[in-house]
Each structure stands twice: as C-alpha cells, then as structure tokens.
Amino acid sequence: MIGVLVITHGHSATDMVATLRRLMGDERTRGFEGLDVEVGEAKLDIRRRLHDAVARVDDGEGVLVCADLHGATPTNCAIEEMRDSRSMAVVAGVNLPMLIKLATATRAGLSPEALAHGALDTAIRSIRLEGCK
C-alpha cells in the first residue's frame, strides 16, 4: 500500500493527520504520517527527517508526499528525495479533502503518481466560495 507523508510548516501536518484519523479511523489511515517543520529549521535537518519518515511509511509500494506550499523548503526537500530514491510523488497544497480521498482510495496496485492525480482532483474541486452572490 502506498504510504502518505504530510509535511507542513508549523504543526499542521500532525494536526491534519490526527484529525483525519479521528474522522476515518485507524485502519483507513494506516500508512499515514505527519511531519512538522519548524520555522528556521535547517534544510539538512528537514531533509534527514523527511528521508527517515519516507522510509517509515514506505512498505515497498512507494510514497505520496503531500506538502503545504509549492516552492517552499519542505516541498523542495521532498522533490529532492523523490529524485534521489524510491517510487514517490509530491503534491503541494495539501488540504483535508485531499487526505480524506487518500484515506478512502485503494492505495494498493497504483503508482504514487496515479494516486496523486485523484487526490489533486478532489482537493481542487473542494475549494469553493460559499455564501456570496
């Protein structure tokens, strides 16, 4: 099953995964992990912690990394990890609907990139302007 690593600035990653676990249960969120990056944390430290987290969630089928900000250090570190190693895909702009989609999707027998496409579609469609005329 493809592992899912959420990486964000501050404590959003672990909070999002904890919320997802409360909503979806432990079974559906098996293979999910949050990785929080502190403001000002050294890039080499982020890269090392990211590498270790990817190894923890990868059961051999690959990893999808969901990051908060395109172009930011956590996302860039994930892209570097993707280039250097295993079967990975990286998406930026993580939101809770994306994670719910990932928790309910079949994560076995797909590539991380194929899984990412479905998650992206859900994330984009979930953004709405509500209550305005």
Whether residue 30 contacts residue 113, with contact meaning beta carbons closer than 8 Å, is answered with no
Question: In this structure, is residue 9 part of a structural domain?
Answer: yes
Question: In this structure, is residue 119 part of a structural domain?
Answer: no
Q: How many domains does the chain have?
A: 1
Who has greater pLDDT, 131 or 13? 13
Question: DSSP labels for 45-95?
Answer: HHHHHHHHHHHHH-SSS-EEEEESSTTSHHHHHHHHHHHHSSSEEEEES--
Cα–Cα distance list, 129 to 99, 119, 120 (Å): 20, 20, 18
Question: In this structure, is residue 14 part of a structural domain?
Answer: yes
For residue 87, the domain's CATH number is 3.40.50.510
Q: Which residues constitute the domain of residue 103?
A: 3-108
Question: In this structure, is residue 18 part of a structural domain?
Answer: yes
pLDDT of residue 85: 73
Question: In this structure, is residue 130 part of a structural domain?
Answer: no
Whether residue 105 contacts residue 114, with contact meaning beta carbons closer than 8 Å, is answered with no
> Quick one: tokens of 37?
């990056």
Question: In this structure, is residue 35 part of a structural domain?
Answer: yes
Question: In this structure, is residue 126 part of a structural domain?
Answer: no
Question: In this structure, is residue 51 part of a structural domain?
Answer: yes
Instruction: Say how far apart CA 109 and CA 115 lie, in whole Å.
Output: 10
Q: What is the pLDDT of residues 66-113, one digit of tens each?
A: 999 999 999 999 999 999 876 999 999 999 999 999 999 998 889 999
